[in-house]
Structure 1
């Protein structure tokens, strides 16, 4: 494990600050992009260009009454919204934002990310159970089933990346893409990871856990005020985190395309600014991609989601893993 320095604490603090604020930015971006796609105006009243709309949304949630079901589990009903927020924040610790710009580099960083990401489902499942509502419970059970189904192909896609690097360190994976992004070397793995990341985020077309047609509101039906706000915050934080992970594992992290071949040697300050700018731009693109898909593709049916995960993505991810392993062993050596 790398030594934790003052720079590590600064990077961690800035990363957490950016992640918390990125949720508000993503909410505003979603409204504006959705309005553009549907040929509407979008938020334009609260502040210039509607930029203060996220603040107005937060104030509205704070001022609403906080209601807890009488027959629900009050402790779990309170704790459940905190779990997905905390799990999202924990991932920032091992994500490199630039060369040398990371909070810590642990040997099993990939395993840490997969473990922390899998904990987020507990918040949704406990929220559904603690509410003592059949709609919420069904939403929680759907979330658990969906998460288990898509964690396996997602993990196999990441494992196929680990084969190229020979290390479970996220920092090593990012550094290895200076010349060739893994999306070029492992395109099937990248596609599988992106689809699984959508399912892990419970975003359209995989938002079965809060389908209003069948479940009223799903796992958060019985939530109000800032408890609901925390679920809302967590959803967009996970969108940003998954966008960061797509960038880190498959799309070069903080590297420009084929940077090792043409980018000259830069001073540490200029290099740091360039790395962070490139990483931020890639993450912003994938956040836009999440929004674009939501307002383009309709929600899948439950049987379609399960069939896609178990009958399509999982076999493909396993085949992809063994093909890459065979190529690296027998051809590359």
Structure 2
């Protein structure tokens, strides 16, 4: 690990000012420290933000919840309000890591975690995300966990998280304070970026930006499901995951929100799929059409070709469960 400076911030303004000068925030450090040990990331300075007042979950004026950026994954998943009103979020967090990691990982840090692409972690290999312009070894290499949607010629890495997938389905927002002290709110759906020509940029954060909270809307009606397919039942990253919120009106689908993990450089949401389902009666034919819409532009790269039929099966399974029907045609 390369030498670095360390500082503790006690105020937000101090934290954002230091980060604007080529420093990196650290809270739980569950991903950052691994990257520093491998010298994939080598910040000149770490700014510890654990003393900031960002570790509470509180109610908003409109009946939603404000989850502070330093709320640990364990505390978030265990909160009764989360379990009762946003079970898809609690289940996603519990599916996302071991208990030891959840005890340290924070809400803000979880959103900012970086891809687990093998070539990103191996500094002997070319990687456009780690070193722009060097190439993408995953294109021709082992790409079992890589993207089938939204990839580019520069990068086929996936975003590895679970929490953000559920937050995307819930239409949550990220609260961000910049170095000038100004606050802005960005939908989680827009927080992460597709790789395009600049895969080195994972999200919309600029130097000095500090995530202060995630805002959940008022309780969302409907059946909430989080289903994750992985190589082993214990702690592992998703090959495909689905966060679903489905509201039924009798035998008709009245509302749908679907977000997918393990498929793209960001949590994936396709509103055309949701629109296709709303107002329809559940059927095997309908669910197949939804899968066709989702995967219309999917592309495998060899080792991950299996993800296309896998995603189809997972989506259909989730929709059957959410509509509480065998979906007979």
TM above 0.5, yes or no, is no
User: Which has the larger share of strand?
Assistant: 2
Using the size of structure 2 for normalisation, the TM-score is: 0.25
- Name the structure, 1 or 2, with higher relative contact order (CA <8 Å, separation 6+): 1
TM-score (norm 1): 0.25
